[in-house]
Structure 1
């Protein structure tokens, strides 16, 4: 049985501010359904992604900004970073991990610049939405076998 990851819930404090942010990034607005004063669902999809994010009023009990480690896979880390900067996101510098492939939370083991060998899975950049929900760009140019 196929199981496809479809939606990640982003806890936000201000729905309209979050909506403006993701719209400015060029993400497709899929839905904005208000159901009274205490429930509203907004859905956005990043360009080229089969998965989406939702946020709103009454959608999550989590603290605003507590979603961490949300990955966006890109084929060119520097071009993706430049586009997001152009669209108003505050994206950090491109980096790679000193000890290997997977980026760990925090700044430990971060080395400035893309992976020196430009290996797939090894170059990153990070940004957050206005509430602090944390996104990581990861450059993947060639998938591991079986993917």
Structure 2
């Protein structure tokens, strides 16, 4: 399991993503461990598989209301399902891409897989836990799940 201090890179990445959108601060809640018997999440999830010295996945899961609000603030006229999924993929890529700087070039990330609802447990390692970190932006709550070792 990755040391909890190392999780900060994922959380600062989500803060950086939202700073690009507007001045509203992201409030990061306390991370907690989930046993992977069921995933924690919202309407849509962007999952990135990780390989190399670290194995597992990172996901970001958000409600559609939050994704539509981000699209509106970005002044994007298209708020279709495809656009919401693209946005979530961009969030997931930002989070994992920034983590590469912390963990090194051997940190290999897959393109994001966007799923409806919470990630199925098939994405999560059965033999370890996931650090789930809720975060809020403009009153909307989403989560980052980190399951790597």
Query: TM class, shorter-chain normalised?
Result: under 0.3
Query: Which of 1 and 2 has higher RCO (CA within 8 Å, sep 6+)?
Result: 2
